[in-house]
A and B are shown apart, each in its own frame.
Chain A
Amino acid sequence: MVEDYYAYPDAHGRFGAYGGTFVAETLIAPLDELKAAYLRLRDDPAFQREFADDLKHYVGRPSPIYHAKRLSQQNGGAQILLKREDLNHTGAHKINNTVGQALVARAIGKQRIIAETGAGQHGVATATVCARFGMQCVVYMGAVDIERQKINVYRMKLLGAEVIPVTSGSQTLKDALNEALRDWVTNVADTFYIIGTVAGPHPYPMMVRDFNAVVGREARAQMLEQFGRLPDVLTACVGGGSNAIGLFHAFLNDREVRIVGAEAAGEGIATGQHAASLAAGRPGVLHGNRTYVLCDDDGQITETHSVSAGLDYPGVGPEHAFLKDSGRAEYVGVTDDEALAAFHLLCETEGILPALESSHAVAQAIKLARELPKDKLILCNLSGRGDKDVHTIAKREHIEL
């Protein structure tokens, strides 16, 4: 039984059995430097003030909680509330983290920024803060993802970033992460690596969580103010898990709030064509941390599938692995088809076009709502907007634009 979920990670970056620092020797020193800098800045009121100020005036926070009444009514069960991260500058929660990490990079004097990206949202959010601070920006992106997220690739270029296609392995997010790590190990003296999710070696899972935790802190206060109580259930999509941990974190010690993460079940977990690391994977080591991974019996990481590039990842943040094992959170699969159906339903009932990633969370909220009475409140993290996915959806539904 975990007494206090805020006691994690420990000094070694461990969330129970998960997390840690599984990297090559060359990266230990820069990670130690980053950890020292971040711990200092975390307790520095001036830094926190500047971060809060940027979140308010640049990102546009707080994001509202919106009661999706028609969706709830049509669905016929509990009330679905949406935390509108899609209304942030650049269109997703990803900007919370990149604003924070750019401030850290500036504080330790690094002028060259690298990032990996899957759907392109983190790449765009990184290119955005680099433009704002006049920093050089290099984004690694799998060649497959470049094809499915052309609009975001162009956005990054408009923002002055260099987008480098990654053609190794499955040519998706995990390979972009490998390539970014290779760049970092080579250019470690002047380069800051802005990881886009709560994975990677310590201190990234902690730091990225802290920067996204504003989502849950806001949501908790908004719930008390707007509804006079906490939600009954939280749900969010989980790829690497940064938007999910961002929402969940402020509620971890509120044991009465049920927490459900929605992973990408792709064409169905039974088909093997999915990216549900927690629901269908096993503990292993990938990209610098111990966590649940999707791999074969030889320990080779397997290729994943999801209609949404942002969830197409064979690992997951170590804190989610810890929350799963401790029983604090449940993780379930949502298929491509279910996510697509939720996408259309939200468009048609509420006039909100969600990202394909976030559509997984919406689908899960719809499922949960059906099982619960009308007076229950489900808070769903609408982590991003779907403009970037319009081409993917049209193509999937055989529509020529």
Chain B
Amino acid sequence: MSGRIEMRFADLRTRNRAALIPFITAGDPLPEATVAVMHALVEAGADLIELGMPFSDPMADGPVIQHADERALRNHVGIADILGWVREFRLRDDATPVVLMGYLNPIEIHGVERFARGAVAAGVDGVLIVDCPIEEDAALQPLRAAGLARILLAAPTTTDARLARALEAAEGYLYYVSFAGITGAAKLSADAIATRVSGMRRHARVPVAVGFGIKDAASAGAVAAFADAVVIGSALVDRLAGAGSPGDACRRARDFLLPVREAIRESGENP
């Protein structure tokens, strides 16, 4: 394993701060902006980047990410492009972990082993495949074998028995979906999930990240008080959507993320 994810979380633990994980869709709004936006996010305080791999039928995503995927696909963004962008990002940043997030079909058609080799060579650290639960783990075995962290999801509907299994098998971090729904939907209630996430953290060998429903500095700050990491996706993707140039996209990314990072810093330092 690359070790970037572990190192990053270990470092944050010594500073007693939750990680900030922004999500963007690769190739959206402009294919030529993706690498620049990744750097801008790091400059604005991102600790790890989740890069969405667009899919024609993103059944777990809400309209914001669905439209981002459609825009990216109109530009024919494919796995080769995405791995190329990670490789380019790594030329200037060898420390920030990058996790690819997407659906199984594009990876299977590309070839899972070929994808695993390409991802490792490009400097990818982990992979989260939304429609591949732990029951279907065999499909992604080559990713683990190649040393990529297999990020697993847990949800409010996940039973305790399954959760124990996921906590056992999770690599990198466990992504807790804060409510039953699609990305970008209703606002979450931090109090309601704090107890469950705290319980998970007691049993987990990996950090617990919380995503879905985190829209702004206030909600990010509230979640950072009890989670190891805060994932923020749809609200950021929505902000980037109208960007007319790579410079504009970077400006939007920074303007969006800076106050979010501020909120996390405060909550971590004053628990």
Contacts and interface: CB of A to CB of B under 8 A. Distances in A.
A253 interface: no
B155 interface: yes
Interface in B66-109: 66, 70, 73, 76, 78-79, 103-109
B109 A185 contact: no
A168 B65 CA distance: 12
Interface string A297-326: 111111000000000000000000000000
Interface of A: 12, 20-30, 32, 168-169, 174-175, 177-178, 181-182, 185-186, 188-189, 282-288, 293, 295, 297-302
Contact of B59 (A28, A287, A299, A302): A287
A162 to B, nearest CB: 19
A29 B73 CA distance: 32
Contact of B106 (A20, A283, A299): A299
Contacts of B58: 178
B181 A185 contact: yes
Contacts of B139: 285
Given A285-B104, A298-B106, A299-B106, A12 B135 contact: yes
B136 A24 contact: no
A-B interface, 10 closest residue pairs, ranked by CB to CB distance from nearest:
A299-B106, A299-B109, A29-B157, A25-B153, A24-B60, A26-B155, A298-B78, A300-B56, A186-B181, A301-B56
Contact of A182 (B59, B104, B158, B177): B59
Contacts of B218: none
Contacts of B132: 22
Contacts of A298: 76, 78-79, 106, 109-110
Interface of B: 55-60, 62-63, 66, 70, 73, 76, 78-79, 103-110, 130-133, 135-136, 139, 152-159, 162, 177, 180-182, 185
Contacts of A188: 157, 180
16 contacts: A21-B133, A22-B136, A24-B130, A25-B133, A26-B155, A26-B180, A27-B157, A28-B135, A29-B155, A178-B57, A178-B59, A182-B62, A188-B180, A285-B108, A299-B109, A300-B106
Contact of A300 (B73, B152, B185): B73
A300 B104 CA distance: 10
Contacts of B130: 24
Contacts of B136: 20-22
A147 B268 CA distance: 54
A185 B61 CA distance: 10
Given A26-B157, A28-B157, A301-B57, A295 B105 contact: yes
